[in-house]
Amino acid sequence: MMIRLRELSLFFLIFFFSAFTLQAQDISIELGPDNIALNQAFTITINVQGETLKSYDKFPDIPGLVKRGTSSSSSTNIFNGQVSRSQSITQTYVAEKEGVVNIAPFNITVNGKQVSSPGKQVKVGPAQQRQQQRRYDPFGSDPFEDFFGRRDEPTEFIDLKDDAFLALTTDKDEVYVGEGVNATLAFYISEKNRAPLQFHDLTNQLTDILKEIRPKNVWEENFNIENISPESVNINGERFTVYKVFQASFFPLNADDIEFPSVGLKMIKYQVAKRSSFFGQSRKEGFKTFYTKAKKIKVKQLPPHPLKDQVAVGNYSLEENLNNPNVKTGESFQYQFQIKGVGNIAYINEPNIKTDSDLEIYPPNSQERIVRSGTTVKGTKTFSYYVSPKEPGAYNLGDYFNFVFFNTQKNRYDTLKSDYKINVVGESLKNQALGSSMSQGLFYERFEGESNELVSLSKNQWLQPLVNIIIVLALGLTLFILIKKS
């Protein structure tokens, strides 16, 4: 009997901890209410407990509802001495018109796991006016307190100290004119934080914030953050969860310093009940604004150079391609000059081209590819040329194609040159071109010996009276019609 009791106790203990573990690592999808007004929002929320929200698919597109941005939140709960963290991502929708909206069953992959939702029907009613009167809140009171006669005793809430901050960080403190500096605006929450925090109206707030922090006289490459996903980082030995809300690289167009002013982000911060109760209200909504520190990036002039105001700035290399190194005069070959690396790819201009009568180089087709990754902007810009040789011989394409830029890694000007050589055979076409131009010259010289007196080219003298008669008859017929109508 003793052994059976111990086995039974062990079974319930294992069952309890297994259930707690499953609950602590729960991922779920929460749908909004069944009935909303036309001016109320409907939400779909991904809730993750016991693990970090690392990745998730996009929220479903729902006919009759329009997406209006996402928000994310995290919270820390303490129950019986056990600490648990939860995170959520909420997609907000607004209805297009009154009626019934059918939400079909859908799946969302969260942290590599597929989570299902059965869907539902949502009834959209007329827009409601907000009323100021207080309504009975069944969750704002504790029935046990009512039973013991303490109904009128107000719940006392306390403000927990938050361990979080808003920061605008850059990967550099000084740059050259044309060199990129990457700026990131993010909210940081310590893993030790106990104060429940949540984003508030982030879309509208971010619109106003970006108006303040976007510098002038720069070229911007926006990283276009669509989904705010949490990331874990280590800062001075302490673990933080980071929520990036904006990231871009800025390339200064002149030597004016880049200044980022201090900006504020308003967050929902909940106060928690001082005395916990099973049915009582556990927290109360409040607000707190977090501010960044102002930051200045020093912009330096490029060293003196004849092409100082025209060159690209970055760290670039050359990749080239030639379809045929052996050609005949009069034939054409294709040559590709591709510049790749880190920098303002959109600002890269066409390479310098040497022109002479030996090689006829046609204007290029260009193509660019820009990749924004980590804190850098990189990519390629490709120029494709058609070249037609006019004179036989050996040619070094490095004498014809070169690209001058300021190398930020070496802090000096650098030049990319072609390594290809071509061999041209056949007869010279220069004399043909010269003969053609000479024949045109003899043709134009004949103008000096010709008279500038006008000469009639008409040989049929009888045709002119006939044309005059036809014109007179047409005018007469037109007048007759006009008089008859009047």
The span from the CA of 377 to the CA of 214, in Å, is: 17
The span from the CA of 74 to the CA of 47, in Å, is: 10
Task: Measure the CA angle with vertex 353, ends 349 and 358; round to 5°.
Answer: 160
> 102: number of CA atoms within 13 Å, CB side?
2
Q: What is the pLDDT of residue 88?
A: 79
Helix locations, 123-201, DSSP H: 143-147
Q: What is the pLDDT of residue 22?
A: 37
Cα-only R_g, the chain = 38
Residue 378 CB coordination number (10 Å)? 19
Give the neighbor-by-neighbor strand order of the sheet with 393-396. Answer: 326-328, 421-425, 393-396
Give pLDDT tens digits for 409-462: 999 999 999 999 999 999 988 766 544 444 445 445 555 555 666 555 455 566
Q: What is the pLDDT of residue 452?
A: 61
Find, among 87, 96, 89, the residue nearest to 69 by Cα. Answer: 89
The span from the CA of 398 to the CA of 443, in Å, is: 40
Please identify which residue in the block is written with the tokens 């109206």: 201
Instruction: Look up residue 194 and give its DSSP letter.
Output: -
Cα torsion at 307, 309, 311, 312 (round to 10°)?
170
Residues of the chain with pLDDT under 50: 1-24, 76-81, 83, 131-152, 278-279, 434-440, 442-443, 457
Q: Are 232 and 241 in contact (CB under 8 A)?
A: yes
Q: pTM score, two decimals?
A: 0.59
